[in-house]
Structure 1
Amino acid sequence: MASVVRTLISWHERGSFFLRRARIIAMSPQIFKPFRAGLALLCAAAPITGAHAFESYRITGVAAADKLVVREEPFDGGKLSDWKEIASLPADTKDVLGTGRSKSVGAQRWFEVVVGETRGWVNGKFLEAGDPADLKTETFSCSGTEPFWGVTLGPSKGEYSDPESKTKLTTESVQPSTARLFPLLYRLKDASGQKYQATVSRQSWCSDGMSDYDYAFEVLLSNDEVFQQGCCVINR
């Protein structure tokens, strides 16, 4: 029993506690029988978009004659004068572009979306995940801390930066995982021939540790000298 408890704690720290517990329940009904009813209620109550940001969404829960407001900043409730509307989307919109960034405000989670040339925020209760997309042609903007650094990863070029310098990169290849759209493996080099390798993967949460934002994408970046982890958005 002690080994089972240690396993549950490990899964919780990796951010997928309830999903993995469900698998254990199915495999070991005698051990976890008392948890079944509560777990079922939790899973049923959780909104589809409550735990993840995505690269695309569909609008849900908006009356046909209405439009979904896109706000300048994530702000829950308040008077109309307290927040700024920067765009609106028809109720039947099925391809709302996301950046992968989100923020929890009160009891609601808000998601950053792109409408034309404008970035804004939509309440997650009006969004559901769109179809998985091939992101090889997109550009990711990633960053990390301790020390502060950033990397841009595009299909043909990129850039690595830290507080002291910026280094232009050439993308040699972008390779998805075998038979899947994700993760993406980038192979890059700078003007001196230094090789870089970056893997962008989808995560439940990636936190930069410095802000209130959460991110759907994580990067692991390495060259001959460093190995760094950071969070990413799609630069749309």
Structure 2
Amino acid sequence: MVRRALIVLLLLAGAAGAETGELPALFDVRGVAADDVLNIRAQPRASAEILGTLAPEAEGVEVVDAADGWGQVNAGERAGWVAMRFLVRQTGQEGLPEALACQGTEPFWILRTGAAPAFVTPEREIAVDAPEILRSRNRTDRYGVLAETAAGPLRAIVARETCGDGMSDRAFGFGIDMIFGGKVYSGCCSIGD
């Protein structure tokens, strides 16, 4: 009896993981009435405090983590949870997304890899050539990023992992360690520019 229950639980866990796929990823809100909203809650349960809402037609919602049928999303400077039954994963999201917005603090910096790649600090902005993305040969959650700039080469390792920026209560699904200009920068990334 216990063995059968364990097998059922393992099958259900596998089905839930297949539903969300690799995270973080972008999802669209579906199944919410036009005159309603999808609540973002402080904890992954229906009775938790409401932190914000998503419109019934919201698209491109980044889900950074999942637990028990709930997906972790950001609402302003805070992370919260939405019911995954109202989200549909966008297609074509294998590997590392082309457009990432990475950031770090002390010193403050931003790396954009999408339509207008650039490395930005409060003092300057440096254009970055289209980066080459390399998938790790032995880890499915690690990627190398190689790019050239007028100020020299930029090299980074991006990992699918829970990451916090230390300045907000936002959640990030990618961590980054980068070498640029003879310095090491560490931070977090989200999908998009």
Output the TM-score relative to the length of structure 1. 0.52
1:150 is matched with 110
2:164 is matched with 207
**What secondary structure sits across from 1:67 in the alignment?**
coil
1:127 Cα shift? 6.5
Greater CA radius of gyration, 1 or 2? 1
Paired residues of 1:111 and 1:124 also in contact (CA < 8 A)? no
1:202 Cα shift? 0.2
1:100 Cα shift? 4.5
Q: Is residue 99 of structure 1 aligned with residue 59 of structure 2?
A: no
Of residues 35, 45, 55 in structure 1, which corresponds to 2:25?
Answer: 55
CA distance in 2, matches of 1:179, 1:171: 25
2:3 is matched with none
Residue type of the alignment partner of 2:62:
T
Q: Is residue 218 of structure 1 aligned with residue 175 of structure 2?
A: yes
CA distance in 2, matches of 1:128, 1:84: 13
Structure 1 residues 132, 70: CA separation in 2 closer, same or farther (over 3 Å shift)? farther
CA distance in 2, matches of 1:142, 1:54: 14
Of residues 67, 90, 109 in structure 1, which corresponds to 2:32?
Answer: 67
Structure 1 residues 135, 164: CA separation in 2 closer, same or farther (over 3 Å shift)? same
1:178 Cα shift? 2.2
Structure 1 residues 84, 230: CA separation in 2 closer, same or farther (over 3 Å shift)? closer
Structure 1 residues 231, 184: CA separation in 2 closer, same or farther (over 3 Å shift)? same
Residue type of the alignment partner of 1:197:
R
- The superposition leaves residues 84-122 of structure 1 with CA deviations (integer Å, 9 ceiling, x where unpaired) of 552248xxxxxx7542557xxxxx864259xxxxxxx86
Q: Is residue 228 of structure 1 aligned with residue 190 of structure 2?
A: no
**What secondary structure sits across from 2:130 in the alignment?**
strand
Paired residues of 2:32 and 2:56 also in contact (CA < 8 A)? no
Residue type of the alignment partner of 2:32:
K
| Structure 2: runs of 5+ lacking an equivalent | 1-5
Of residues 196, 211, 215 in structure 1, which corresponds to 2:154?
Answer: 196
Of residues 130, 134, 146 in structure 1, which corresponds to 2:94?
Answer: 134
Segment drifting more, 124-133 vs 174-183: 124-133
CA RMSD of aligned residues (A): 4.4
Residue type of the alignment partner of 2:133:
V
CA distance in 2, matches of 1:136, 1:125: 22
1:151 Cα shift? 0.7
CA distance in 2, matches of 1:223, 1:163: 16
* Structure 1 segments of 4+ aligned residues over 6 angstroms from their partners: none
1:222 Cα shift? 0.6
1:200 Cα shift? 1.3
Once the two structures are aligned, what percentage of the paired residues are identical? 19
Paired residues of 2:27 and 2:63 also in contact (CA < 8 A)? no
Structure 1 residues 87, 163: CA separation in 2 closer, same or farther (over 3 Å shift)? same
1:143 Cα shift? 0.4
- The superposition leaves residues 130-166 of structure 1 with CA deviations (integer Å, 9 ceiling, x where unpaired) of 6993244521001011111111123x76211111111
Output the TM-score relative to the length of structure 2. 0.62
2:56 is matched with 87
